Amino acid sequence: MSEYIEFNPTPEQLAYTFGPNPPVAKVRPGDVLKIRTEDCFGGVVRGFGDLPSQVCRFPYLNPVTGPFFVEGAEPGDTLALHFVSITPARDWAVSSTFPHFGALTSTSHTATLQPPLEERVWVYDIDLAAGVARYSARNSDFTVDLPLDPMHGTVGVAPGAFEARMTITPDAHGGNMDTPELRAGVTAYFGVNVEGALFAVGDGHARQGQGEVSGVAVEAAMETVLVVDLIKGVGTPWPRLESDTHLMATGSARPLEDAFRISQHDLVTWVSELTGLDLLDSLQLVSQAGEAPVGNVCDTNYTMVAKVAKAYLGRAGAYDGVHHRLKALGAAYR
Amino acid sequence: MSEYIEFNPTPEQLAYTFGPNPPVAKVRPGDVLKIRTEDCFGGVVRGFGDLPSQVCRFPYLNPVTGPFFVEGAEPGDTLALHFVSITPARDWAVSSTFPHFGALTSTSHTATLQPPLEERVWVYDIDLAAGVARYSARNSDFTVDLPLDPMHGTVGVAPGAFEARMTITPDAHGGNMDTPELRAGVTAYFGVNVEGALFAVGDGHARQGQGEVSGVAVEAAMETVLVVDLIKGVGTPWPRLESDTHLMATGSARPLEDAFRISQHDLVTWVSELTGLDLLDSLQLVSQAGEAPVGNVCDTNYTMVAKVAKAYLGRAGAYDGVHHRLKALGAAYR
Amino acid sequence: MSEYIEFNPTPEQLAYTFGPNPPVAKVRPGDVLKIRTEDCFGGVVRGFGDLPSQVCRFPYLNPVTGPFFVEGAEPGDTLALHFVSITPARDWAVSSTFPHFGALTSTSHTATLQPPLEERVWVYDIDLAAGVARYSARNSDFTVDLPLDPMHGTVGVAPGAFEARMTITPDAHGGNMDTPELRAGVTAYFGVNVEGALFAVGDGHARQGQGEVSGVAVEAAMETVLVVDLIKGVGTPWPRLESDTHLMATGSARPLEDAFRISQHDLVTWVSELTGLDLLDSLQLVSQAGEAPVGNVCDTNYTMVAKVAKAYLGRAGAYDGVHHRLKALGAAYR
Amino acid sequence: MSEYIEFNPTPEQLAYTFGPNPPVAKVRPGDVLKIRTEDCFGGVVRGFGDLPSQVCRFPYLNPVTGPFFVEGAEPGDTLALHFVSITPARDWAVSSTFPHFGALTSTSHTATLQPPLEERVWVYDIDLAAGVARYSARNSDFTVDLPLDPMHGTVGVAPGAFEARMTITPDAHGGNMDTPELRAGVTAYFGVNVEGALFAVGDGHARQGQGEVSGVAVEAAMETVLVVDLIKGVGTPWPRLESDTHLMATGSARPLEDAFRISQHDLVTWVSELTGLDLLDSLQLVSQAGEAPVGNVCDTNYTMVAKVAKAYLGRAGAYDGVHHRLKALGAAYR
């Protein structure tokens, strides 16, 4: 009894935290959801003169669409979100530097006495048909077409312990993980912390390099279709991702090696459970077969992904095959 | 006037530091070198009973073949080493855990009061014809064939400032970077710090996951062919790599975000020089187009690689095209 | 028109986050407040058999007394809390290890595959008259009297950006800073983020070493007297402390060097404002004259304090002398 | 049979690494040594116009006096150096900023795209009789007298594993720890790695704040008297210090929490050995009674000190009382 639900938030409906916010809609496991998300600047950075520090007003940054209340979701369950499609909603996208934000500048926390880098905006042409985002330098006539690879930087559920967290922060509840691995075709898993899970989605990127070095990706409003499901009575310690070919665990923390440790620890534990390997045998396999794609090295927590090909794991299937079920369910909406 | 030189060190000729050690041979720019390297255990770990902490004796770990004195090399130059082939020299390879070493254990520096993980050895069958290394679990009958992807964990030159550094340490002089990107077909660039450069090579891995999570890869003795060249009067701040398709910069430091920053800073600067983009335009391009493959998160310094496709950089060619010249030169020796 | 208000919370009134919680009472600038705070375990760890992981239930840890609504407090103001006295409320206190928590164990974030250290409880005898807390070893008959030096580990206001944060987390809003510098005689300053400031106090320690290495101090319920004041229109970026002799700035972050940087950056900036020294002259003075007492190296963020003697700063007075006014006001209640 | 030896190096005799350098002199356990050390700039920064980056030439920075060959010293022993006196040798000292060096600037490793802070020199008047160093601002007429507290930033032995390390680097062999705790009256202990120990001393500071925030202390040439001793067959993992009242362990690493962990781990272990407490009882005692004075947060490794009062440890005496013997021996030379 899958329903198809569309939701396009008004500006007033956008949320700026993951937490116990009033839900914008209720959904049920199996429902297909088509949502619109605004870009991280709330859509107000549109040209070279729109410096984010001037046209955006803290904390009204990185809005998310949601939260959605999932009927039946309780603490201890796992929420599965299968991303059927993530499509840039406009024919342009933007990027920028932002004062004292990013990996190659001192920041509010890696605090130095140096002034910030120049604040600068770049505008990208998005050509869906050609599948490219066009980079144009600001101080020369250099241009290059980069392949579109749309993703959501921010996806998560309400955190536990009565917390509400800025959408810009990634942590065990998800949030602003900013990993290019969260693209269409992937199922994301989150441990449920509060009744209804209260998930939300935002911060679309037409594409993003690993690490999001400048602090800002190719920011784009998105039209996104996803399928919702619930795995009852099964917990998930940190957000996980599954594609047709790979299993992925995430970790978000500082310093970066802790994000790496969390993600690898979860992957080693998960592979052990799926394959019956003991922890050291699983560690050995992941050590030789695994990948470690960097998410972001600029947000309030950094995000690392630990990734291994399913082909190396025998017949093991994660979460009882929900990824393939949701993919099939979503196929009609692609 | 390229010469072909073979060098197979005796055990006494192996080196354990990068520094002002007496060279094992002199080579000239353009020479092709075929060397044998021993594995990180000096070849003494051969079975389940050969626990590294018992059969190896500190500091006689991670031996390198070299150093080689490059005629004409002076501080301020760049040494180019093109890896024509890297071939496992035996039909087996080994891996292990090692007490208080690795990313998922406390260590000598991330010091805790916990006892070490169990020390355990794994033996891999190497099948060159099939191109696989066979993983076999120790505590179950699980096996899986992983693709061979041979690489050298340790390549570098003598450091500056009169230093001698353990081969296990990666830093600005190269050393134990443990990145899978250092495979056959790649040219590695090192800034020269002392007369003759004094480069050395070791620590072959039949394959390695990103991050080398357990601290130990699929360790293998290697037969390696490389071409040596010298770029006079051009410095290189941190080791760089070039493949047919990508430019890569490395950084080795702790915490991991500093390794990331160093590598990205060097790539942004390098791309700026090659393309004429100013630093912020280069930062923007690298941020959206770049990759950040993890090297190691277990050694005395961690290593990150910043990587960008040449296809995105216009007609820019690094180091005046030396990669393609050396590739052509080495083709006859593949 | 200073009022004297006593507040002793019922267990149901205790709070577990800093955030927009309903206030337990309203106070006005100049009011003197006598409160009771429960220990970090909610008072349920009383003997060797009361292992915290068994008798405490997450997230009901580290309760705070509050929040208190300060009339007139608005974002952009600074809240001043002068601690007149902090007195252990019982003749015993407790400490413990806690699984995978503390500086000398792997943790949830510095994740390893090692099992946790043994969980163990220590009980201290508190002798107010003698001014000592008696340490007794568990596995030998070693005992020693350590001087009482009562402090509050957790003091803060509601954070901005619509956040609610676990009381165990220190950040720009204060929280679980766990610095021994927050003792009686000190005035603490917090930037106000929400109307009413909503401050709360908890986590008394009969004493604590620098760094809180084991993760748990000599935990004690407290009777605390404090004076509340408001500095209108003056912001404070991170919590600051003032004693009769010293100015202190705090930073809470990971890695530890970022906590250090934040605290030193704020102290250098503050000293510059107070003395008229330019930033580099202030940096130079703080570099040679400053101290850097460690707060905690175990919580979700680590805390460092940057400290300088007022005697080195000429006639400069912080916040227009409010520390001395509040001290005088509180004298009657000591 | 204690001998009294004076050594005042010529500029050519200064060393720039800890390693297997030819010794400048041989000494025997029990000998009293009076040495002269040059400041970290080699004495060439003498006025506002002497910008270090212009008048100093890398790697000729941070010279040390030595190495001294200690007769009978073998790997596995502990070298004890008791500092009888450390006296500024001139009536002036200097400090500075240095481009991309220090805690409140991006650096070569915490690499950003920001330009360096202004390079600026400060000159201090040293008044031995009054016991003060006079700070004078450069951009105002602010001055203040700071108490002299002379120390050596750099003391160490040759490292193991055939290494030679720049004197600017602190590690397990000692080196540039830059802790104000290394002052007159203190005995420093170092594990011996090579025959003769090969210790050296340099980098005097007329005083230094905790953390050496700007990267440079009040740099001064020194006249230093020390007594040398050897504890045969007893190892020391990381440098330790002992004063009349305290035991101290050091750790030097990045990130800063690892320096903290190393130092606390060693102190907990050491206290356990001295008192017979088991490791967890020792951890508990150190956690409540210990201090953690910051050394440096600017060098190639950061240094932390873990410190506990002897008064809390019962009758335990470290290294069989050598501190008190050396103090008595040195008393005649004060």
The answer to whether position D206 is within a domain reads yes
The answer to whether B179 touches B298, Cβ cutoff 8 Å, is no
**Which among C142, C285, C290 has CB closest to D210?**
C290
Under DSSP, the state recorded for C310 is G
Per-residue pLDDT of A8-67, as tens digits, reads: 999 999 999 999 999 999 999 999 999 999 999 999 999 999 999 999 999 999 999 999
The answer to whether position A263 is within a domain reads no
Interface test with A, best of B288, B300, B310 (most A CBs within 10 A): B288
The answer to whether B301 touches B171, Cβ cutoff 8 Å, is yes
pLDDT of residue B315 exceeding 90: no
Instruction: Say what the pLDDT of residue A315 is.
Output: 81
User: How far apart are the CA of D28 and the nearest CA of chain A, in angstroms?
Assistant: 46
User: How far apart are the CA of B268 and the nearest CA of chain D, in angstroms?
Assistant: 9
Q: Kindly report whether the peptide bond that precedes residue B9 is cis, defined as omega within 30 degrees of 0.
A: no
Domains held by chain A: number: 1
pLDDT average, residue stretch C158-181: 98
Whether C113 and chain A come into contact, CB under 8 Å, resolves to yes
Instruction: Say what the pLDDT of residue D221 is.
Output: 98
Give the pLDDT band (50/70/90) at residue D313. Answer: very high
**Which among A16, A255, A261 has CB closest to C255?**
A255
Whether D95 and chain C come into contact, CB under 8 Å, resolves to yes
Whether D141 and chain C come into contact, CB under 8 Å, resolves to no
Q: Kindly report whether the peptide bond that precedes residue C59 is cis, defined as omega within 30 degrees of 0.
A: yes
Ramachandran category for residue C197: left, alpha or beta (phi over 0 → left; psi -120 to 50 → alpha): left
User: What is the distance in angstroms between the CA of the first residue and the CA of the last residue of chain C?
Assistant: 19
CA geometry: angle C266, C271, C272, nearest 5 deg: 95
Question: Range with the lowest mean pLDDT among A160-164, C212-216, C309-313, C330-334?
Answer: C330-334
pLDDT of residue C316 exceeding 80: no
Whole-number CA gyration radius for chain B: 19
Please judge whether D208 and C288 are an interchain contact, meaning their C-beta atoms are less than 8 angstroms apart.
yes
Please judge whether A261 and C165 are an interchain contact, meaning their C-beta atoms are less than 8 angstroms apart.
no
Instruction: Say what the pLDDT of residue A317 is.
Output: 86
pLDDT of residue D143 exceeding 80: yes
Whole-number CA gyration radius for chain A: 19
Please judge whether B289 and A135 are an interchain contact, meaning their C-beta atoms are less than 8 angstroms apart.
yes
**Which among A112, A166, A283 has CB closest to C163?**
A166
Under DSSP, the state recorded for D50 is -
Per-residue pLDDT of C16-68, as tens digits, reads: 999 999 999 999 999 999 999 999 999 999 999 999 999 999 999 999 999 99
The answer to whether position D173 is within a domain reads yes
The rounded distance, in Å, linking the Cα atoms of B231 and B190 is 10
pLDDT of residue D1 exceeding 90: no
Per-residue pLDDT of D27-81, as tens digits, reads: 999 999 999 999 999 999 999 999 999 999 999 999 999 999 999 999 999 999 9
What amino acid is encoded at A168 in this protein? Answer: I
pLDDT average, residue stretch B146-158: 98
The answer to whether C304 touches C259, Cβ cutoff 8 Å, is yes
The CATH number of the domain where C153 resides is what? 2.60.120.580
Instruction: Say what the pLDDT of residue B187 is.
Output: 98
The answer to whether position D269 is within a domain reads no
Q: Where are the beta strands (DSSP E) in chain B?
A: 4-7, 17-18, 25-27, 32-37, 64-70, 78-88, 92-96, 121-127, 132-136, 143-147, 151-156, 165-166, 170-171, 174-175, 187-191, 199-205, 222-231, 240-242, 246-253, 302-309
Q: Quick one: which of D277, D101, B243, A282 has its CA closest to C144?
A: D277
Instruction: Say what the pLDDT of residue C1 is.
Output: 65
User: How far apart are the CA of B34 and the nearest CA of chain D, in angstroms?
Assistant: 27
User: How far apart are the CA of B60 and the nearest CA of chain A, in angstroms?
Assistant: 24
Secondary structure, 3-state, chain A: CCCEEEECCCHHHCECEECCCCCCEEECCCCEEEEEECCCCCCCCCCCCCCHHHHCCCCCCCCEEEEEEECCCCCCCEEEEEEEEEEECCCEEEEECECCECCCCCCCCCCCCCCCCCCCEEEEEEECCCCEEEEECCCCCCEEEEECCCEEEEEECCCCCCCEEECCCCECCEECCCCCCCECCCEEEEECCCCCCCEEEEEEECCCCCECCCCCCCECCEEEEEEEEEECCCCCCCCEEECCCEEEEEEEECCHHHHHHHHHHHHHHHHHHHHCCCHHHHHHHHHHHCECCECECCCCCEEEEEEEEHHHCCCCCHHHHHHHHHHHHHHCCC
Instruction: Say what the pLDDT of residue B22 is.
Output: 97
Per-residue pLDDT of D118-133, as tens digits, reads: 999 999 999 999 999 9
Range of the domain at C114: 4-235
Instruction: Say what the pLDDT of residue B268 is.
Output: 98
The rounded distance, in Å, linking the Cα atoms of D322 and D317 is 9
Low-confidence ranges of chain A (pLDDT < 70): 1
Instruction: Say what the pLDDT of residue A178 is.
Output: 98
- The residue in chain B having the minimum alpha-carbon distance to the alpha carbon of residue D58 is B161
The answer to whether position B63 is within a domain reads yes
Whether B112 and chain C come into contact, CB under 8 Å, resolves to yes
Structure tokens at B226: 């490389």
Query: What percentage of chain B exceeds 70 in pLDDT?
Result: 99
**Which among C105, C111, C112 has CB closest to B113?**
C105
Chain D residues whose CB is inside 8 A of the B280 CB are: 113
Whether C111 and chain B come into contact, CB under 8 Å, resolves to yes
Structure tokens at B91: 């039909």
Instruction: Say what the pLDDT of residue A2 is.
Output: 84
Whether A167 and chain C come into contact, CB under 8 Å, resolves to no
Whether C109 and chain A come into contact, CB under 8 Å, resolves to yes
> Is the CA virtual torsion A152, A154, A160, A162 positive or negative?
negative
Residue C323: count of CB within 10 angstroms of its CB: 24
Per-residue pLDDT of C250-269, as tens digits, reads: 999 999 999 999 999 999 99
Per-residue pLDDT of B31-70, as tens digits, reads: 999 999 999 999 999 999 999 999 999 999 999 999 999 9
Whether B281 and chain D come into contact, CB under 8 Å, resolves to no
The rounded distance, in Å, linking the Cα atoms of C66 and C186 is 20
The answer to whether A110 touches C262, Cβ cutoff 8 Å, is no
Please judge whether A105 and D112 are an interchain contact, meaning their C-beta atoms are less than 8 angstroms apart.
yes
Please judge whether A135 and B285 are an interchain contact, meaning their C-beta atoms are less than 8 angstroms apart.
yes
Chain D residues whose CB is inside 8 A of the B110 CB are: 258, 261
Instruction: Say what the pLDDT of residue B1 is.
Output: 65
Instruction: Say what the pLDDT of residue C321 is.
Output: 96
Residue A102: count of CB within 10 angstroms of its CB: 26
Query: What percentage of chain C exceeds 90 in pLDDT?
Result: 98
The rounded distance, in Å, linking the Cα atoms of C250 and C179 is 9
The answer to whether position D228 is within a domain reads yes
CA geometry: angle C304, C310, C313, nearest 5 deg: 110
Burial environment of residue C204 by CB neighbours within 10 A (0 to 12, 13 to 18, 19 or more): buried
Query: What percentage of chain C exceeds 70 in pLDDT?
Result: 100
Chains that touch C (3 or more CB pairs under 8 A): A, B, D
What amino acid is encoded at C47 in this protein? Answer: G
User: Is the ipTM value over 0.90, yes or no?
Assistant: yes
Per-residue pLDDT of C271-287, as tens digits, reads: 999 999 999 999 999 99
3-state secondary structure of C326: helix
The answer to whether position A74 is within a domain reads yes
Mean pLDDT of chain D: 97
Per-residue pLDDT of B190-245, as tens digits, reads: 999 999 999 999 999 999 999 999 999 999 999 999 999 999 999 999 999 999 99
CB pairs under 8 A between A and B: 202
The answer to whether position B138 is within a domain reads yes
Residues 6 or more apart in contact with residue C14 via CB below 8 angstroms: C38, C42, C63, C64, C65
Per-residue pLDDT of D82-111, as tens digits, reads: 999 999 999 999 999 999 999 999 999 999
